[in-house]
Structure 1
Amino acid sequence: MAFRFRRTVKIFPGVRLNLGKRGVSGSAGVRGANVTLGRNGLYGNAGIPGTGLSYREKLLKNKTPSRRSVRKHTAQPPGNSLPPIAAQIASLQLNTITGDIAILDANGTDLGDEAMEVAKTHARETLEAALQEHVDNHNRMMERIGNIHLDTPAPNQFPQLLPEPFDLPSPTRPVPRKLNWLAWICPARRRAVVSSNERRQSDYQKQQLQWQSERENHQRKETQRATLYLRAQQGSISAMEQVLDDHLIDIDWPRETSLSFELSKDGKTLMLDVDLPEIEDFPNTELRVYQRGIGVSVKELSDTALRKLYMAHVHGMGFRLIGEGFACAPSVETVVLSGFTQITNAATGRVEDQYLYSVKVRRDAWGAIHFGNLEAVDPVEALTAFDLRRDMTKTGIFRAIEPWSSEFASSPA
C-alpha cells in the first residue's frame, strides 16, 4: 500500500443512505437481490451492495381460495396452492453486468425455469416491483458515484456529532411461577417452585446489573465523544485527529475506501492519502426493466462515458476529503491530498502503487468556493485552481506523478 502516514481508517459504504449503520450486502461477486423464505412467507429483498438502499416485499403467498373456487374445487385443500419447489427458494440474484436473473436454493444452486415460473405466477407484481427498485437503486448509485462531492462541507462547518444509540434491550423480568394445589400439599414441590423463582430472579438481577453497566459504559463513551468534539473545535491537535477518525468512517461512500492521514505537530498542515478505485473495477452499466415481461436490459457505458465518470469520481473523492479535513480540523491552514491506485506494470507484470494526482490547498483559497452551489462545481476543474500535480489527458488517461511530500510525513505505525 502507498500509505505514507501513521493513521489509517476505512470509509465504509452506504452509512447515511438508510436507517441502518452499514446497509445491505449481497451475494459475493454479484450486485443483486435476494429473497428469504420463512414461516410468514417468501420475502424479496432488492438492494445494491455498498449503497445501503434496499427494497423488501412479500412475494409468494399461500392463496386462500375464494368461495367460488372452494365450491368448484373442493378436492384441493386450502393453503396448498404453491408448488413444492417454492419451499426450496432461498435467494434471487440479478447480475447488473449481464441482466441475468437466477433463483437459487439455500446452497446457491440455480433452481432453473420452474422456480422462475413459480415467482412469475404467484408473485408477478411484487417481483416486478422488486426488480424496478433494484434497477432504480443501481442507477442512483451510478449517479451518486459521479456526484460524490455534493456533500462537501464548508471549511467553517464543523461536523455534527452523531450519537450512537444504545440498542441493547433491557432484560425481561421473569414472571414468578405460582404455587398450585399440589405445591401446597407437597413441601418438596413447594420448595422446588420457590427455589426456581429465586434462581430466575437472581439471574434476572445479574442480567439487569450487566445491562445497566453496559448502558453506563455506553453513556460514558458518548460523553467522552462529545468532549472530544468540543476539544477539537477549540483546536486540540490530538482531538482533531480523533474526530477525523470518528467522522470519516461515517461518510456515505459508494464503496469501501482506505485512507491515511497525519496532522503536523503545530496542527497547521494535514496530509491525506486516499486509495482510489481502479477503472477496471468500476461499475459501467445502466439498467432498465422490460416494458413487457420480466427482465432487465443492460446498457454498457462507452469508454468515453466511463472515463468521464471515473474522472468525476476520483476527483470528487479528493474534493470531498479536502473539505472534510478543513471542517474537522479548524487549526489546519493547508491540506495536502494525494490519490493513488494499483496499476499493473506492463514491463514487469507486477501490481504497483501509482499516484494519479496530488494537490496542495490553502484554507483561504478553499474558502473562495461557493459551497451553497456545489451542483455547479466540477471537481476535475476545481482542483486546478490549487497547487495540483496531475498528468492526465482530456479523455481521462492518467500517468503516474510524484506526490507532494512533507517533512513531518512518517511511515505507518
Structure 2
Amino acid sequence: MGFRFSKRIQIMPGVRLNLSKSGASWSLGPRGASISIGKRGVYGNIGLPGTGLSWRERLDQPNSRSSEDTDRLPTRIRPQVPETVTARLVNDEVQFFDDAGNPLVSALIPSAKSAMKDDIRALLAAQEAERNGQIDALRMLHHDVPHGVQQIYPVTSGKPQRERYGSHGEYMQALMSWHAAIANACSADDQVADKLLENLGTLQWPAETNIMVSLQAGRLLLDVDLPEIEDMPARRWKAIVTRMAIEAKPISQKDLAALYRDHVASILLRLIGHSMASSNAIRSVGISAYTQRTTATGHLADEYVATVDVTRSAWNGVNLARIGEIEPDNLLRHLGAKLEANSRGTLMLQVPLT
C-alpha cells in the first residue's frame, strides 16, 4: 500500500470515474473515503481533500500484499558464514570458531556440523588414539633398548714410553705421575657404573623412578622403586561422534591390574637392556623391584614384587631388532623372572636378590 496521484471526473454525487494509465474504475462513497471497483480488484480509499493524495488498501484479498509492497518490507538479517570455520576440542567437546577465533553463532552450527562431519570424526578419532596411546605406552618403555654395546676406554691408556724422554730421570718422574693418576682414578667398575648412571639418567620415565646401583666384578645389581598401582590411569577414552565429544570410560580392576603388571615388566626389560648396552664389562644384571603397599597389619611398607637375574649370554639370545613385537611378560618368564600375581591381579611378594 502507499500514496498515489490520480485524476478524477465527477459523474454524480458519491459516484466518480477514475482515469489512469491502467484503465478506468468506479469509486463509490463520499469524498475522502470511498470504495473503488476495477479490473485489479476492490480497494478501500482514504483521501485528503484538496490535495490529490490518497491511501489505498485492497479489500478482496485482505491477507495478501502487492509485489510492490512486499519489496518494501525490511529483509531479516541472517548471519553470514565465515570464510574459515575451525573445529576444536574444548573440555572434551567439539566447538566451532570463525576465522577470528570467536565462537560460531548457534544458527550456523548445524551447517558446520554437516559440512565438517568427516573432519570431526577424524578429530575425535585422533584424540582417542592420542590419549589411549599415552596409556598403552606404559607397556612399551623397553622398545628403546639399544641393539649395540658402548665402548668404555680405561684410563690406563697412555702409559709413558722411555724413548720419548731425554733422560732416565724425566722418564721416572712421568712414570710416577702416571701411577699416581691411576691410583686416584676410578676403578674399572666405577667407570662402568658412572657410564650406566649417565645412560639411565637421560631416559624419560612416566613417573619418578629411583634406582640403587651396585656393580662389582661385572655383576650389576639394581634395587628399583616401582610406581604404585594407584598411579596407573584408571580410565580409557572413547570418541562419541553423535555427541561430538570424547568421554572417559573407567578401566575394570582386572584390566588395571594387567596394565600395572605389563608396566612393571616393561620397566625391568628397559633397565636390563640399557644396562647391558652400557658396557661389555657388565656380565650379568640382577634386579629387585619393590613397591610401597599396605601390609596385613595396616602399615605402609616396601614390598618386593619382582626379581630377575639375567646373564649376558642369555640377553644376547634375545632378538633386539624385534623387541617391540615380543610380549614383555613372556620374555621375562623366559629369562627366569619372578613376577607373579594372585587371582585378584595383585603382585605377589618375592625375595630380593643379593
Q: TM-score, normalised by structure 2?
A: 0.53
2-side partners of 1:295 and 1:158: how far apart? 48
Q: Deviations over 1:123-162 (max 9, x none)?
A: 98799877654432211112212222222233x4339xxx
Q: Deviations over 1:15-63 (max 9, x none)?
A: xxxxxxxxxxxxxxxxxxxxxxxxxxxxxxxxxxxxxxxxxxxxxxxxx
Percent identity over paired residues: 23
Q: Which residue of 2 aligns with 1:85?
A: none
Q: Which residue of 2 aligns with 1:242?
A: 194
| Matching residue within 321, 327, 341 for 1:372 | 321
Q: Which residue of 2 aligns with 1:259?
A: 210
2-side partners of 1:153 and 1:371: how far apart? 8
2-side partners of 1:258 and 1:295: how far apart? 35
1-side partners of 2:267 and 2:285: how far apart? 14
Are the equivalent residues in 2 in contact too, given 1:341–1:355 (CA < 8 A)? yes
Change (3 A) 1:277 1:117: farther
Are the equivalent residues in 2 in contact too, given 1:237–1:263 (CA < 8 A)? no
Q: Which residue of 2 aligns with 1:318?
A: 268
Structure 2: segments with no counterpart, 5+ residues: 1-74, 83-88, 96-102, 152-185
What SS does the corresponding residue of 1:398 show, helix, strand or coil?
Answer: coil
Larger strand fraction of residues: 2
Q: Which residue of 2 aligns with 1:354?
A: 303
Shift of 1:360: 1.2
Are the equivalent residues in 2 in contact too, given 1:258–1:274 (CA < 8 A)? yes
Q: Which residue of 2 aligns with 1:401?
A: 350
Are the equivalent residues in 2 in contact too, given 1:258–1:275 (CA < 8 A)? yes
Change (3 A) 1:336 1:131: same
Q: Which residue of 2 aligns with 1:343?
A: 293
Are the equivalent residues in 1 in contact too, given 2:94–2:245 (CA < 8 A)? no
What SS does the corresponding residue of 1:360 show, helix, strand or coil?
Answer: strand
Q: Which residue of 2 aligns with 1:306?
A: 256
Q: Which residue of 2 aligns with 1:283?
A: 233
- How is 1:11-410 mapped onto 2 (pairs within 5 angstroms)? 93-94=91-92, 133-154=126-147, 156-158=148-150, 236-253=188-205, 255-266=206-217, 268-348=218-298, 350-393=299-342, 396-405=345-354
Change (3 A) 1:128 1:364: same
Shift of 1:370: 1.5
Change (3 A) 1:391 1:290: closer
Number of equivalences: 231
2-side partners of 1:116 and 1:259: how far apart? 50
Q: Which residue of 2 aligns with 1:35?
A: none
Shift of 1:306: 2.2
Shift of 1:364: 0.8
Are the equivalent residues in 1 in contact too, given 2:193–2:215 (CA < 8 A)? no
Shift of 1:331: 0.3
What SS does the corresponding residue of 1:373 show, helix, strand or coil?
Answer: helix
Are the equivalent residues in 1 in contact too, given 2:305–2:339 (CA < 8 A)? yes
Shift of 1:369: 1.2
Are the equivalent residues in 1 in contact too, given 2:232–2:260 (CA < 8 A)? yes
Change (3 A) 1:128 1:117: farther
What SS does the corresponding residue of 1:323 show, helix, strand or coil?
Answer: helix
Q: TM-score, normalised by structure 1?
A: 0.46
What SS does the corresponding residue of 1:283 show, helix, strand or coil?
Answer: coil
Matched AA of 2:321: G
Are the equivalent residues in 2 in contact too, given 1:391–1:399 (CA < 8 A)? yes
Are the equivalent residues in 2 in contact too, given 1:337–1:360 (CA < 8 A)? yes
Larger Rg: 2
What SS does the corresponding residue of 1:136 show, helix, strand or coil?
Answer: helix
What SS does the corresponding residue of 1:382 show, helix, strand or coil?
Answer: helix
1-side partners of 2:352 and 2:257: how far apart? 22
